[in-house]
């Protein structure tokens, strides 16, 4: 129920507007009656006033309707504008599909798709746009899942999708049916590449000799010529499966890079998913071979190191018995709280002691 109907009858905006309109009309009638009867005007002027009275009422009514209509239009557009602003800044792309013969086509998509995917709205609505930009290695499996998802009330799946810049990102695609005719499907796209990201203060931000490091040989177009056993183990693909494939089709950059390609001489944080659907995080360096057009790519697996890092953090800041934050965690959290408080604010610390706690546990 709207707030308008929650108000008492005497506080409703519509009632106030009608009352104002009636007051204005009555006041206008009284003024014109006074002018025509008691102002001492001539018969001709009084006659014109009496005959002009209905037209004045009509003009005033039209003016009132225009002003009142614009006011209500602004009132009802405000939630729409707020929703549009939210969608524009949301990391989730919302869309609606419409059935055309045996296929579905993007009928509507939120405007943030232009910023997040790099394509214009018209490009996204074009026929076969979604299919043409699926990763070639995921295309067959994704289409089969999409066909199955169309027949279910709600379905979620993940795949690699080509950004307008040329590189691939991981997309979580969720679709749901709320139309009994089956002609309309609503859904959302979310870039989940950042889910592979490591904490900024993680020790795996630099390549160490203790990591598993794989090596790949590339041609001048960054197509794979050969990968060693370590590279195969990290990405979960064999040398024969990736031979001739562009490096950008195998690995997804975590952060937005200056260019869509893995340029030589730079270090890239990358993510990927193996055929068994396990995810990995790695660091990539591409180097130019001396006096040749060949490139060498070194890939360092960070997944195991990050697991060790999170385990160390858990052990350092949480009690082993209860799993609750320990005293070291309290000290750091309390110091952060004190440092964030303004000078004119006070903070209090309450401590509770539980006698014989470890006997209770």
Q: What whole-number distance in Å separates Cα of residue 220 and Cα of residue 222?
A: 5
b/e burial code for range 286-303 (CB count within 10 A of at least 16 → b): beeeeeeeebebbbbbbb
Distance of alpha carbon 325 from alpha carbon 45, whole angstroms: 90
What's the angle, vertex CA 258, arms to CA 252 and CA 259, rounded to 5?
A: 65
What share of the chain in percent tops pLDDT 70? 75
* pLDDT band for position 242 (cuts 50, 70, 90): very high
Weakest mean pLDDT among 1-5, 46-50, 157-161, 350-354: 1-5
Question: Would you state the pLDDT for residue 227?
Answer: 93
0.75 exceeded by pTM: no
Band (341; pLDDT cuts 50, 70, 90): confident
What average pLDDT score do residues 131-136 get? Answer: 89
Span 217-241, mean pLDDT?
90
Average pLDDT over residues 6-26: 69
pLDDT tens-digit map of 298-324 = 998 887 666 666 666 777 777 776 677
What is d(CA 309, CA 202) in angstroms, rounded to the nearest whole number? 7
**Tell me: the pLDDT tens digits for 280-297?**
888 898 888 766 677 889
Q: Tell me what pLDDT residue 51 has.
A: 73
Q: Of 194-198, 218-222, 238-242, where does mean pLDDT reach its minimum?
A: 194-198
Q: Residues 148-203: pLDDT tens digits?
A: 767 777 888 888 898 888 888 889 998 888 777 778 889 999 998 876 544 444 44
CA-only gyration radius of the chain, Å: 34
338 has pLDDT over 60: yes
Q: In the chain, how long is the greatest CA-to-CA distance?
A: 110
Provide the mean pLDDT of the chain.
77
Q: Is the pLDDT of residue 9 over 60?
A: no
Q: How confident is the model at residue 38 (pLDDT cuts 50, 70, 90)?
A: low
329 and 335 Cβ atoms separated by less than 8 Å: no
The answer to whether residue 219 scores a pLDDT higher than 90 is no
Backbone conformation region of residue 102, classed left if phi is above 0, alpha if psi is from -120 to 50, else beta: alpha
pLDDT given at position 307: 61
Please determine, for residue 250, whether its predicted confidence score (pLDDT) is greater than 80: yes
294 and 219 Cβ atoms separated by less than 8 Å: yes
Range with the poorest average pLDDT among 66-80, 138-152, 200-214, 245-259 = 200-214
Using alpha carbons, select from 214, 251, 262, 204 the residue that is nearest to residue 234. 214
- C-alpha–C-alpha distance, residues 138 and 144, integer Å: 10
Whole-angstrom distance, CA of residue 293 vs CA of residue 304: 34
210 pLDDT exceeds 60? no
Kindly report the number of other CB atoms within 10 A of residue 198's CB atom. Answer: 20
Asked whether the beta carbons of 29 and 53 are under 8 A apart, the reply is yes
In angstroms, the CA 123 to CA 105 distance is 12
């Amino acid at each position: 129920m709207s707030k308008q109907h929650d108000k008492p009858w005497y506080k409703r905006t519509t009632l106030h507007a009608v009352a104002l309109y009636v007051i204005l009309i009555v006041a206008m009638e009284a003024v014109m009656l006074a002018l025509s009867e008691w102002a001492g005007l001539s018969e001709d002027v009084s006659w014109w006033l009496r005959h002009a009275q209905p037209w004045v009422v009509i003009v005033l009514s039209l003016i009132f309707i225009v002003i009142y209509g614009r006011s209500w239009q602004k009132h009802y557009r405000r939630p729409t504008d707020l929703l549009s602003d939210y969608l524009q800044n949301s990391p989730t792309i919302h869309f609606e599909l419409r059935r055309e013969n045996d296929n579905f086509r993007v009928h509507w998509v939120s405007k943030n798709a232009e910023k997040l995917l790099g394509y214009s709205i018209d490009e996204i609505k074009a026929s076969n746009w979604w299919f043409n930009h699926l990763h070639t290695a995921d295309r067959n499996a994704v289409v089969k899942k999409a066909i199955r998802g169309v027949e279910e009330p709600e379905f979620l799946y993940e795949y690699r999708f080509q950004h307008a810049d040329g590189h691939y990102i991981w997309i979580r695609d969720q679709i749901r049916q709320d139309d009994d005719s089956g002609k309309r499907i609503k859904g959302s796209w979310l870039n989940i590449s950042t889910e592979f990201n490591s904490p900024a203060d993680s020790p795996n931000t630099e390549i160490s000799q203790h990591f598993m490091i794989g090596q790949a040989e590339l041609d001048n177009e960054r197509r794979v010529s050969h990968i060693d056993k370590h590279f195969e183990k990290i990405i979960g693909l064999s040398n024969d499966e990736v031979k001739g494939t562009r490096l950008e089709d195998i690995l997804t950059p975590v952060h937005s890079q200056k260019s869509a390609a893995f340029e030589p001489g730079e270090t890239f944080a990358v993510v990927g998913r193996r055929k068994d659907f396990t995810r990995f995080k790695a660091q990539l360096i591409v180097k130019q071979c001396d006096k040749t057009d060949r490139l060498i790519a070194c890939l360092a697996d960070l997944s195991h190191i990050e697991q060790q890092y999170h385990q160390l953090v858990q052990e350092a800041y949480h009690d082993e018995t209860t799993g609750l934050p320990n005293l070291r965690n309290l000290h750091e959290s309390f110091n952060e709280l004190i440092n964030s408080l303004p000078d004119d604010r006070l903070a209090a610390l309450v401590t509770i002691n539980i006698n014989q706690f470890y006997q209770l546990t």
